[in-house]
Amino acid sequence: MALNYLDSSALAKRYVPEVGSAWVARLCRQAPVAISLVAIPELASALARRTREGALNSQQRDTLFQTLLRDARSFTVLEPNQAIAQQAATLLLTAPEPVRLRTLDALHVASARLAFARARRRGVPTGSFITADQALLDAASWAGLPALNPEDYPQ
């Protein structure tokens, strides 16, 4: 099975019911997944926001976050390092005008590129960069990554 990279917007769908959640859940069961370590606090932020807005209570929030931490043991988790930071900076400095790349998004793109390069060196097939953020889909495609939006697969 091909290694896929999930950014935070796609990873959130694994834990909170949204359009595309079923597709992400199936993907996580059927194929290896890579994430950046920065996705963990990003998901904590998303869960905290949903709790403040009343969509989750604190017990639900904490249970979902603990599930993420447990699941992360089976993911390939890329820690930000100098190579990722330098590649993210290069992406930010060279993105053409229509590409709207932000700092954390650039870290996700750089992390995915590194995850896919490592997988290919080990002979592991690579899949797609998965995000529900249209600007990040565009940036990932510009950076040479096949990109998919889980919201295009509602079931």
- Domains in the chain: boundaries: 3-152
- The torsion of the CA quartet 70, 104, 41, 86, rounded to 10 degrees, works out to 70
Domain boundaries 3-152, corresponding CATH code: 3.40.50.1010
8-state DSSP, 132: S
- At residue 147, the 3 state secondary structure works out as strand
Query: How far is residue 122's CA from residue 117's CA, in Å, rounded to a whole number?
Result: 9
Amino acid at 113: R
Residue 2 has pLDDT above 90, yes or no: yes
Residue 6 has pLDDT above 80, yes or no: yes
Mean pLDDT of 27-46: 97
User: For residue range 108-138, what is the model confidence (pLDDT) as tens digits?
Assistant: 999 999 999 999 999 999 999 999 999 999 9
pTM: 0.95
